[in-house]
């Protein structure tokens, strides 16, 4: 029996708290879609089922390519870490949607890769990205337990080499010349995810302080962006108001974190 591919997972379309489901809902009908880092097609197969959508895929892993082909117009074997990976991938008129679901965190230069996607877009096209959140309370709990151990999957997947918090996501898109037009979040309590043991090990007072974090339960970001319109000032356009970081909030978090560290030092 063939061994299941690491990234061959089931997409539960009825689960609204699942990144893949949120990505699929942002695509829309009747689109030419390019999925980069498509793996064995866990999301690709569902894109192909959206009415009027045609999907092409970019993937490096040769074992995943035959699994992708039944769902795709074209499959391109490319290394996203190479600067010229996108050559020959374009289509006439450009793609209406480009999807990068949990991909950028695996790349050496996600900033450049994101910027390079613009050359493949149609004039009114969109880029949809999902990214893990490095500021989740599970990761903070692991750090407070002096343990930043990589795992086979999840926020600390051993193949993740880039990490992003909310401000960094803002900068990532703005630096690529993209304007964020829609956002969503996957929410998980630190008790209900793969790093729960670190959360359980924290003193109750520490957990109480950390739970005041507004964004600490965000497990993944899901972002929809378009090319910046140079005729419009884009100073604040790349992050919707409901997710705009507030300096006072982060100052309060810093004070809470310092108090937590003092507590741990004095009690352990």
Is the pLDDT at 267 greater than 50, yes or no? Answer: yes
Gap between the Cα atoms of 110 and 103, Å rounded = 9
Residue 12: predicted pLDDT: 87
Domain-embedded: residue 181: yes
List the structure tokens of 173: 């898109």
152: CATH: 3.40.50.150
Gap between the Cα atoms of 77 and 244, Å rounded = 37
Q: What is the DSSP letter of 210?
A: H
Gap between the Cα atoms of 210 and 138, Å rounded = 10
Residue 245: predicted pLDDT: 40
Judged on CB neighbours under 10 Å (0-12, 13-18, 19+), 108 is exposed
Q: What is the pLDDT of residues 12-69, one digit of tens each?
A: 888 999 999 999 999 999 999 999 999 999 999 999 999 999 999 999 999 999 999 9
Q: Which of 176-185, 205-214, 251-260 has the lowest mean pLDDT?
A: 251-260
Is the pLDDT at 219 greater than 70, yes or no? Answer: yes
Gap between the Cα atoms of 185 and 166, Å rounded = 11
For the beta carbon of residue 44, count every other beta carbon within 10 angstroms. Answer: 27
Is the pLDDT at 186 greater than 70, yes or no? Answer: yes
Q: What is the pLDDT of residues 187-218, one digit of tens each?
A: 999 999 999 999 999 999 999 999 999 899 99
In angstroms, how far is the first alpha carbon of the chain from the final one?
50
Gap between the Cα atoms of 222 and 228, Å rounded = 18
Query: Is residue 135 within 8 Å of 215, Cβ to Cβ?
Result: yes
Gap between the Cα atoms of 99 and 43, Å rounded = 10
Is the pLDDT at 266 greater than 80, yes or no? Answer: no
Residue 13: predicted pLDDT: 87
Q: Residue 184 belongs to what domain range?
A: 19-202+214-240
pLDDT confidence tier of residue 233, bands split at 50, 70 and 90: very low
Residue 1: predicted pLDDT: 42
**Which residue reads 């900068």 in tokens?**
171
Residue 259: predicted pLDDT: 63
Q: What is the pLDDT of residues 53-96, one digit of tens each?
A: 999 999 999 999 999 999 999 999 999 999 999 999 999 999 99
Nearest to 99 by CA among 165, 137, 42: 42
Q: What is the pLDDT of residues 106-156, one digit of tens each?
A: 999 999 999 999 999 999 999 999 999 999 999 999 999 999 999 999 999
Gap between the Cα atoms of 182 and 165, Å rounded = 17
Domain-embedded: residue 84: yes
Q: What is the DSSP letter of 184?
A: E
Domain-embedded: residue 265: no
Residue 136: predicted pLDDT: 98
257 or 173, greater pLDDT: 173
Gap between the Cα atoms of 68 and 6, Å rounded = 14
pLDDT confidence tier of residue 230, bands split at 50, 70 and 90: low
Domain-embedded: residue 91: yes
- How many domains would you assign to the chain? 1
Domain-embedded: residue 13: no
Domain-embedded: residue 253: no
Domain-embedded: residue 246: no
How far are the Cα atoms of 7, 38, 182, 213, 245 from residue 231, in angstroms, in the given order?
Answer: 41, 34, 20, 37, 25
Domain-embedded: residue 3: no
């Amino acid at each position: 029996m063939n061994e299941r591919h690491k990234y061959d997972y089931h997409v539960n379309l009825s689960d609204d708290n699942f990144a893949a489901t949120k990505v699929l809902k942002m695509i829309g009908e009747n689109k030419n879609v390019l999925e980069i880092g498509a793996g064995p097609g866990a999301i690709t197969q569902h894109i192909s089922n959206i009415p009027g959508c045609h999907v092409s895929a970019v993937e490096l892993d040769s074992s995943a390519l035959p699994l992708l082909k039944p769902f795709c117009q074209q499959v391109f074997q490319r290394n996203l870490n190479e600067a010229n990976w996108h050559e020959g991938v374009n289509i006439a008129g450009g793609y209406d949607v480009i999807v990068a679901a949990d991909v950028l965190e695996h790349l050496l230069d996600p900033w450049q890769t994101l910027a390079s996607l613009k050359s493949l877009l149609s004039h009114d096209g969109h880029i949809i990205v999902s990214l893990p959140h490095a500021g989740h309370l599970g990761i903070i709990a692991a750090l407070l337990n002096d343990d930043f151990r990589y795992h086979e999957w999840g926020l600390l997947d051993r193949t993740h080499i880039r990490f992003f918090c909310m401000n960094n996501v803002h900068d990532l898109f703005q630096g690529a010349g993209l304007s964020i037009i829609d956002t969503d979040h996957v929410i998980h309590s630190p008790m209900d995810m793969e790093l729960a043991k670190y959360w359980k090990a924290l003193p109750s007072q520490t957990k109480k302080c950390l739970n005041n974090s507004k964004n600490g339960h965000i497990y993944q970001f899901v972002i929809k962006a378009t090319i910046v319109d140079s005729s419009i000032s884009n100073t604040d356009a790349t992050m919707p108001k409901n997710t705009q970081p507030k300096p006072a909030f982060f100052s309060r978090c810093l004070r809470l974190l310092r108090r937590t560290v003092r507590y741990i030092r004095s009690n352990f």
